[in-house]
């Protein structure tokens, strides 16, 4: 107990003497970075999955061809989940003489669980949010039905044997953004109206969909409970299971956030290691004296470890607080951008950040501390005695273990972790050798400069290992900053180009061949950007190499079994702009026939080049060999196709055309005009979906900006730790030189020379490292195009020289300010 | 109190084995004061380190406070020293981050003494530094620093005090004053004193004088006072 008290007293004395500043700063920044990034991405993840849930309409959806056991829904309600029941069936909607095939959707109370239904009184009129599903006897219909049946609101339509009054136009329904090609126009009615229609008979094509929403843990538990009981014809889908439009951007953003907090932690680790090393060196005397006073080796540790533990706890608490404040502040700053009520973060990121701080301390501070216990008490008589270095494995092993655990947490994958660490190890070794070579070059260059500068250059070589360590630390810090800054701007740029401002926000399909020319002219006359008109023929894939296809072809779970083998077939003489060939050549006039298949579909169905595919189009068979495979960027908002044929191959089949186009908000009234001019054409608005995607990207961009700051801060702490590591020796040498008659000016130039050179070399090292690491990250982790970063080669050495030169001269001011006699007396 | 038998210390250097200490046998009784003298490099500090258990001999044995040191490990030897032994060194070995008072308090705090602060203050008063308790070593002169070191050495109430050239870094007047304080406290507290010095003038103030040369005892003289 008294020992513990003494430990605390010693800690207070060290704290007062400023011995712990760098260490504390490094720890605080590491914990703050990890907690802020963790908290912020936790909140964003919650918000984004909330938003995605709004797009989808629920957190979890269960589709089934028959009603499911009642206890399944009871079990969900027991877990405090909200439940909504829906029922979907195709049916003909009748108005007078007019018939239209529609997808009828009957929704129960509580629908939609996430997001909202929006309706309008007139076609393309102002939207209002519906408080709930339609009342009994009421139908809300999609504009396409109004167009097809030429009705206005108030008209009465029949579904089965029941009549419904068409009250409003359904303009937005969560979860129906995507698969518009296969869908018949929708009619929304109340679930209670279904029996009245008498449409549902045994054997009817019906999809029962149960939707769930609620607390993430409860959902996970429910999912776990439900999954084993599902039959093959049940389909359970949570958010994030499928490809959301922003999926790629989010994946990259998550990687970026993970990478930056990892880098911040590694940098902090380096700073902690350097600071503790210095702490250790400055406490040899204390340890030796304690041993003289009869304290055992364990006793020395018993005095030191609690000090560091307490420091870790305090720094951790401050770091967590700082992290929390930072993410709260950023969320505040972004109030315009973020959803009005950002969910509050969970406790896990805080706990993890706290643990990360302690782990960092254990990994990087313990080895130098353990070294102190083995100091020989004889040091009090013979000053030159320093403790034996602990085995290399222990010094680096502990730190490596700490970094491994953290990396594993960020990547969540052993293989990636191991390859990242192995890569980093090789890179560190290579950079070390390079640094040594650079120092060697400097040694040869030193002639031809003034005395003071020569002395400065000389010092760099003379300090040997110390310089090497500093060079590597500076280089690492600069490199981390450069990589993160580069990645940041390229990520932001890539998101900007991902959804350029004129991204098509409307689709038009059902364009009859006769309308193709006039529609093109119409767009041209009004300068409406469109992605071009594509022909489309619907067909089913029946055989691959004469074997029947039994698996569903598309991922579209709204469709029934036969529809799920329906594909959009198109033809084109040229490769569409969003497509990239992955195998086989694109056809030219000479090479003739075949079909080009989308790669993901090909993978799913096991289709290879030169396979024979048989389609059934309107009952007629068509056979083609696979000529090429294409990668398609599905979220580009341009029309895209699984199967593309050469021109002429589909001429015998009925085709309609489709296109997507961009309308600025003020051009919105043109929609009515389009529909009037081209009555057969159906227009689908996707500007809502697009807007939501943009908001998501903006949030992600904000987070990316935020985390950059932490890496910069951690980088600066490393700079300071590295500077401090040679401070004692510099002070001593400076005093000695001055007592030997060197002027302050000479000393200052010598120091400036040393630091400038150190910064220049570190910058060079950082440029080389950045080029390699950025290349690997861009191509392997972020799927970004990599271009040679010439700016880095200029900026890193210059900035390095400037930054380190400046910091070095300021940091070692004390070397010049204090009187030599005072300094020498202390030693 | 302290005894050594056939003590040898060899070190390996680039020119082969070097005997720093050969066959040293001596016995020092409780309360006795002994001066170990000899020219620079004769092995005085080495002997002191061995007697205090700070180092291990190549051969021979040391008994400190009834314990055979060579039979103990590092921690065992430390335990023998704990609360029993005080040190004054040539390089004063004050901790730079602590004030004078805190430096003196350290051994008291290790022993779990509750009023360490007050007792340290008292001792600093005793060595004439009552008004400098809050000063850091760098704010004190060499002689003042050594007085703090003496206060610290006596703080734990040691049975044996090892002093290695306590005046080596000081001018003769200051040195004399330091020695005065040292002997005064020693007399007062009946501490066994082992004083290494090359200052022949100090030897007569001790009960006994042991002269080393080339690592061997060449002369043991009882000093009549
Ligand atoms: N570990 C060692 N390695 C090599 N030589 C050593 C070692 N320890 C002591 N010596 C040598 O042993 C001899 C005795 O050293 P010691 O410090 O005991 O001398 P000393 O009598 O205290 O001298 P001084 O009066 O100068 O302090 C010296 O020549 C010293 O160089
Ligand atoms: Mg000596």
Mean pLDDT of A84-89: 89
- A76 or A710: whose pLDDT is higher? A76
Give the distance from CA A647 to its chain's centroid.
40
Q: Do B85 and A383 touch (CB under 8 A)?
A: no
| Three-class DSSP category at A266 | helix
Helix axes A247-282, A284-292, angle to 10 degrees: 50
Question: What does the pLDDT read at residue A558?
Answer: 43
Q: What percent of chain B has pLDDT above 70?
A: 99
Verify that A465 and A322 share a domain, yes or no.
yes
**What pairing do the DSSP bridges indicate for beta strands A235-238 and A82-95?**
unpaired
- Res. A709 pLDDT band, cuts 50 70 90: confident
Task: Please give the angle made by the CA atoms of B28, B29 and B33, to the nearest 5 degrees.
Answer: 70
Q: Do A2 and B142 touch (CB under 8 A)?
A: no
Minimum mean pLDDT range among A46-50, A423-427, A687-691: A46-50
- Res. A313 pLDDT band, cuts 50 70 90: very high
Verify that A718 and A585 share a domain, yes or no.
no
State pLDDT tens for residues B129-179: 999 999 998 888 888 998 899 999 988 888 999 998 888 777 888 888 888
- Nearest C-alpha in A relative to B105: A6
Q: Which residues line ligand 1 (CB under 6 A)?
A: B 11, 13, 18, 20, 38, 40-46, 198
Question: What does the pLDDT read at residue A448?
Answer: 61
Interchain contact B222–A (C-beta under 8 A):
no
Ligand 1 atom nearest the C-alpha of A381 is 17
Q: How distant is the Cα of A21 from the closest Cα of chain B, in angstroms?
A: 14
For residue A577, give its domain range.
Answer: 531-661
State pLDDT tens for residues A778-789: 887 777 778 888
- A236 or A765: whose pLDDT is higher? A765
Residue identified by tokens 């861009």 is A778
Looking at the domain assignment, is residue A688 inside a domain? no
Question: Structural domain tally of chain A?
Answer: 3
Q: Answer yes or no: is pLDDT of A242 > 80.
A: no
Interface of A with B in 457-486 (CB under 8 A): none
Question: What does the pLDDT read at residue A338?
Answer: 52
- Res. B121 pLDDT band, cuts 50 70 90: very high
Mean pLDDT of A821-825: 61
Question: What does the pLDDT read at residue A592?
Answer: 65
What is the helix (H) or strand (E) element at residue A495, kind and residue range? helix A465-498
Site to substitute for ligand 1 among B15, B35, B43, B195, most atoms within 8 A of C-beta: B43
- A229 or A698: whose pLDDT is higher? A229
The torsion angles phi and psi of B209, rounded to 5 degrees, stand at: -130, 120
Q: Answer yes or no: is pLDDT of A668 > 90.
A: no
State pLDDT tens for residues A447-500: 666 666 777 777 777 777 778 888 888 888 888 888 888 888 887 777 777 677
For chain A, give percent helix, strand, coil, nearest 5: 55, 15, 30
The complex's ipTM?
0.89
Looking at the domain assignment, is residue A264 inside a domain? yes
Domain boundary among A204, A238, A272: A238
- Res. A140 pLDDT band, cuts 50 70 90: very high
Burial degree of B134 (CB within 10 A; 0-12, 13-18, 19+) = exposed
Look at the alpha carbons of B67, B69, B73, B79 in this order and tell me if their dihedral is positive or negative.
positive
CA dist B104 and A682 (Å) reads: 92
Verify that A266 and A210 share a domain, yes or no.
no
Verify that A364 and A469 share a domain, yes or no.
yes
State pLDDT tens for residues A724-742: 877 777 777 777 777 777 7
State pLDDT tens for residues A532-552: 888 888 888 888 898 887 665
CA dist B97 and B90 (Å) reads: 19
The torsion angles phi and psi of B194, rounded to 5 degrees, stand at: -120, 110
Verify that A128 and A255 share a domain, yes or no.
no
Mean pLDDT of B203-218: 88
Q: What is the mean pLDDT of chain A?
A: 80
* B93 closest CB neighbour out of A13, A289, A296: A289
Verify that A397 and A289 share a domain, yes or no.
yes
> Between A and B, how many residue pairs show a Cβ–Cβ distance under 8 A?
83
| Pair of tokens at residue A302 | 């018993």
Minimum mean pLDDT range among A77-81, A813-817, B76-80: A813-817
State pLDDT tens for residues A384-408: 777 776 666 666 677 788 788 877 8
Looking at the domain assignment, is residue A686 inside a domain? no
Q: What percent of chain A has pLDDT above 90?
A: 8
Mean pLDDT of A502-524: 86
Domain boundary among A193, A210, A238: A238
Verify that A492 and A348 share a domain, yes or no.
yes
Minimum mean pLDDT range among A265-279, A295-309, A696-710, A749-763: A696-710
Verify that A486 and A536 share a domain, yes or no.
no
Kindly tell me the number of DSSP H helices and DSSP E strands found in chain B: 6, 10
| Three-class DSSP category at A175 | coil
Question: What does the pLDDT read at residue B122?
Answer: 92
State pLDDT tens for residues A352-374: 889 888 888 888 888 888 888 88
- Residues facing A713 on adjacent strands: none
Residues of A in contact with B84 (CB under 8 A): 294
Verify that A437 and A320 share a domain, yes or no.
yes
Verify that A558 and A442 share a domain, yes or no.
no
Looking at the domain assignment, is residue A446 inside a domain? yes
**What pairing do the DSSP bridges indicate for beta strands A579-583 and A620-632?**
antiparallel
State pLDDT tens for residues A281-305: 888 888 888 888 888 888 888 888 8
Report which of A656, A697, A702, A696 is spatially closest to residue A535, judged by C-alpha positions: A656
Kindly provide the b/e burial profile for residues A724-745, where b requires at least 16 CB atoms within 10 angstroms of the residue's own CB. bbbeeebbbbbbebbeeebeee
Mean pLDDT of A494-519: 81
Q: How distant is the Cα of A306 from the closest Cα of chain B, in angstroms?
A: 15
- The residue nearest atom 11 of ligand 1, judged by CA position, is B20
Q: Do B89 and A381 touch (CB under 8 A)?
A: yes
Minimum mean pLDDT range among A198-202, A321-325, A347-351, B120-124: A198-202
Question: What does the pLDDT read at residue A180?
Answer: 40
pTM exceeds 0.80, yes or no? no
Minimum mean pLDDT range among A545-559, B103-117, B180-194: A545-559
Interchain contact A285–B (C-beta under 8 A):
yes
Domain boundary among A661, A683, A705: A661
- The residue nearest atom 5 of ligand 1, judged by CA position, is B11
State pLDDT tens for residues A167-225: 988 887 776 543 344 456 789 999 999 999 888 877 677 889 899 988 878 888 898 89
Furthest-apart CA atoms within chain B: distance in Å: 53
Q: Do A294 and B137 touch (CB under 8 A)?
A: no
Interchain contact B43–A (C-beta under 8 A):
no
- A197 or A561: whose pLDDT is higher? A197
Q: Answer yes or no: is pLDDT of A692 > 70.
A: no
Looking at the domain assignment, is residue A365 inside a domain? yes
Site to substitute for ligand 1 among B44, B169, B194, most atoms within 8 A of C-beta: B44
Question: What does the pLDDT read at residue A72?
Answer: 92
Return the number of other C-beta atoms located less than 10 Å from residue B31's C-beta.
Answer: 16
- Res. A333 pLDDT band, cuts 50 70 90: low
Question: What does the pLDDT read at residue A567?
Answer: 78
Verify that A205 and A295 share a domain, yes or no.
no
Mean pLDDT of A685-695: 71
Looking at the domain assignment, is residue A509 inside a domain? no
Q: Do B49 and A378 touch (CB under 8 A)?
A: yes
Look at the alpha carbons of B65, B71, B76, B78 in this order and tell me if their dihedral is positive or negative.
positive
- The residue nearest atom 27 of ligand 1, judged by CA position, is B40
* Ligand 2 ion: residues within 5 Å (CB): B 45
Q: Answer yes or no: is pLDDT of A824 > 80.
A: no
Q: Answer yes or no: is pLDDT of B198 > 90.
A: no
Q: Answer yes or no: is pLDDT of A317 > 80.
A: yes
Looking at the domain assignment, is residue A687 inside a domain? no
Furthest-apart CA atoms within chain A: distance in Å: 112
Look at the alpha carbons of A614, A617, A622, A625 in this order and tell me if their dihedral is positive or negative.
negative
- Res. A247 pLDDT band, cuts 50 70 90: low
Interchain contact B85–A (C-beta under 8 A):
yes
Interface of A with B in 5-64 (CB under 8 A): 6, 9, 13-14, 16-17, 19
Looking at the domain assignment, is residue A390 inside a domain? yes
- The residue nearest atom 2 of ligand 1, judged by CA position, is B11
Question: What does the pLDDT read at residue A77?
Answer: 92
CA dist B48 and B44 (Å) reads: 6
Residues of B in contact with A17 (CB under 8 A): 96-98
Mean pLDDT of B56-61: 91
Interchain contact A824–B (C-beta under 8 A):
no
Question: What does the pLDDT read at residue A314?
Answer: 93
| Pair of tokens at residue A528 | 């409406």
Question: Which three-class secondary structure string do you get for A615-650?
Answer: EEECCEEEEEEEEEEEEECHHHCCCCCCEEECCCCC
- B104 or A2: whose pLDDT is higher? B104
Give the distance from CA A627 to its chain's centroid.
36
CA dist B187 and B154 (Å) reads: 12
Verify that A45 and A74 share a domain, yes or no.
no
Ligand 1 atom nearest the C-alpha of B49 is 18
Conformation bin of residue A41: beta by default, left when phi > 0, alpha when psi is -120 to 50: alpha
């Amino acid at each position: 107990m008294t020992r513990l008290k003494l430990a605390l007293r010693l800690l207070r004395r060290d704290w007062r003497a400023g011995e712990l500043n760098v260490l504390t700063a490094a720890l605080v920044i590491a914990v703050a970075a990890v907690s802020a990034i963790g908290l912020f991405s936790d909140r964003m993840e919650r918000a984004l999955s909330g938003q995605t849930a709004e797009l989808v309409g629920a957190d979890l959806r269960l589709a089934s061809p028959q009603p499911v056991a009642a206890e399944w829904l009871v079990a969900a309600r027991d877990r405090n989940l909200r439940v909504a029941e829906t029922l979907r069936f195709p049916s003909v909607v009748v108005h007078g003489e007019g018939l239209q095939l529609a997808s009828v959707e009957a929704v129960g109370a509580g629908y939609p669980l996430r997001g909202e239904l929006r309706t309008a009184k007139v076609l393309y009129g102002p939207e209002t949010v519906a408080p709930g599903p339609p009342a009994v006897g009421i139908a809300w219909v999609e504009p396409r039905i109004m167009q097809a049946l030429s009705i206005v609101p108030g008209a009465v339509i029949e579904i089965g044997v029941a009549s419904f009054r068409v009250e409003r136009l359904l303009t937005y329904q969560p979860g129906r953004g995507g698969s518009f090609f296969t869908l018949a126009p929708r009619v929304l009615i109340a679930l209670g109206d279904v029996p009245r229609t008498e449409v549902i008979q045994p054997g009817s094509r019906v999809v029962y969909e149960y939707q769930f929403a609620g607390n993430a843990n409860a959902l996970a538990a429910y999912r776990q409970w439900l999954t084993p009981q599902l039959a093959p014809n049940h389909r359970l889908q949570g958010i994030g299971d499928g490809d959301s439009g922003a999926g790629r951007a989010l994946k990259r953003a998550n990687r970026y956030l993970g990478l930056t907090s990892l880098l911040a932690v590694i940098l902090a680790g380096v700073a902690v290691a350097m600071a503790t090393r210095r702490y250790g060196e400055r406490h040899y005397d204390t340890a030796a004296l304690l041993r003289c006073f009869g304290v055992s080796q364990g006793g020395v540790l018993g005095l030191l470890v609690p000090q560091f533990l307490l420091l870790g706890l305090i720094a951790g608490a401050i770091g967590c607080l700082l992290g929390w404040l930072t993410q709260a502040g950023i969320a505040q700053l972004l109030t315009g951008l973020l959803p009005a009520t950002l969910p509050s973060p969970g406790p896990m990121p805080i706990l993890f950040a706290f643990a990360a701080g302690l782990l960092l301390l254990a990994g990087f501070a313990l080895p130098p501390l353990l070294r102190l216990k083995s100091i020989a008490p004889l040091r009090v008589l013979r000053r030159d005695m320093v403790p034996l270095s602990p085995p290399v494995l222990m010094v680096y092993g502990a730190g490596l273990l700490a970094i491994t655990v953290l990396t594993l947490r960020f990547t969540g994958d052993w293989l990636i972790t191991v390859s990242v660490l192995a890569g980093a190890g090789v890179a560190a070794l290579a950079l070390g050798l390079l640094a040594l070579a650079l120092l060697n070059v400097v040694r040869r260059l030193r002639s031809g400069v003034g005395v003071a500068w020569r002395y400065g250059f000389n010092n760099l070589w003379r300090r040997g290992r110390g310089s090497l360590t500093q060079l590597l630390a500076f280089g690492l810090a600069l490199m981390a900053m450069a990589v993160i800054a580069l990645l940041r701007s390229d990520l932001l740029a890539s998101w900007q180009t991902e959804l350029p401002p004129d991204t098509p926000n409307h689709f038009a399909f059902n364009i009859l061949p006769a309308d193709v020319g006039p529609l093109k002219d119409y767009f041209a006359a009004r300068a409406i950007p469109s992605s071009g008109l594509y022909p489309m023929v619907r067909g089913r894939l029946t055989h691959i190499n004469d074997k029947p296809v039994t698996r569903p072809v598309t991922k579209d779970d709204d469709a029934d079994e036969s529809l799920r083998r329906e594909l959009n077939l198109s033809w084109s003489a040229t490769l569409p702009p969003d497509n990239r060939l992955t195998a086989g050549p694109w056809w030219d006039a000479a090479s003739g026939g075949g079909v080009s298949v989308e790669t993901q579909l090909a993978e799913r169905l096991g289709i290879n080049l030169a396979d024979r595919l048989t389609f059934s189009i309107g009952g007629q068979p068509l056979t083609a060999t696979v000529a090429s495979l294409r990668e398609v960027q599905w979220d580009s908002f341009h029309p895209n196709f699984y199967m593309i044929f050469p021109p002429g191959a589909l001429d015998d089949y009925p085709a309609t055309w489709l296109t997507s186009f961009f309308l600025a908000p003020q051009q919105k009234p043109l929609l009515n005009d389009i529909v009037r001019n081209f009555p057969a054409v159906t227009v689908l608005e996707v500007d809502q979906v697009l807007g939501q995607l943009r908001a998501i990207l903006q949030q992600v961009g904000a987070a990316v900006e935020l985390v950059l700051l932490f890496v910069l801060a951690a980088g600066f702490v490393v700079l300071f730790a590295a500077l401090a590591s040679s401070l004692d020796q510099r002070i001593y040498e400076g005093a000695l030189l001055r007592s030997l008659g060197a002027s302050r000016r000479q000393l200052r130039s010598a120091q400036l020379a040393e630091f400038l050179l150190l910064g220049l070399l570190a910058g060079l090292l950082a440029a080389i490292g950045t080029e390699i690491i950025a290349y690997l990250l861009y191509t392997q982790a972020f799927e970004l195009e990599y271009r040679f970063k010439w700016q880095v080669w200029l900026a890193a050495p210059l900035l390095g020289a400037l930054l380190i030169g400046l910091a070095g001269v300021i940091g070692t001011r004390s070397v010049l300010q204090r009187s030599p006699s005072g300094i020498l007396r202390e030693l | 109190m302290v005894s050594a038998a056939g003590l040898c210390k060899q070190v390996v250097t680039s020119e082969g084995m070097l005997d720093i200490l050969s066959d040293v046998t001596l016995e020092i009784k409780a309360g006795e004061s002994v001066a170990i003298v000899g020219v620079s490099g004769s092995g005085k500090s080495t002997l002191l380190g061995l007697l205090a258990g700070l180092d291990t001999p190549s051969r021979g044995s040391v008994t400190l406070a009834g314990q055979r040191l060579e039979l103990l490990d590092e921690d065992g030897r430390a335990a023998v020293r704990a609360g029993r032994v005080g040190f004054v060194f040539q390089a004063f070995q004050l901790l730079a981050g602590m004030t004078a008072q805190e430096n003196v308090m350290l051994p008291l705090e290790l022993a779990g003494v509750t009023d360490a602060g007050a007792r340290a203050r008292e001792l600093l008063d005793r060595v004439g530094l009552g008004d400098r308790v809050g000063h850091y070593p760098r704010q004190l002169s060499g002689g003042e620093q050594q007085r703090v070191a003496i206060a610290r050495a006596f703080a734990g109430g040691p049975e044996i005090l090892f002093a290695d050239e306590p005046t080596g870094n000081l001018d003769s007047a200051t040195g004399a004053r330091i020695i005065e304080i040292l002997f005064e406290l020693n007399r007062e507290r009946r501490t066994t004193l082992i004083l290494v010095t090359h200052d022949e003038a100090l030897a007569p103030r001790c009960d006994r004088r042991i002269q080393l040369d080339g690592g061997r005892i060449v002369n043991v003289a009882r000093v009549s006072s």
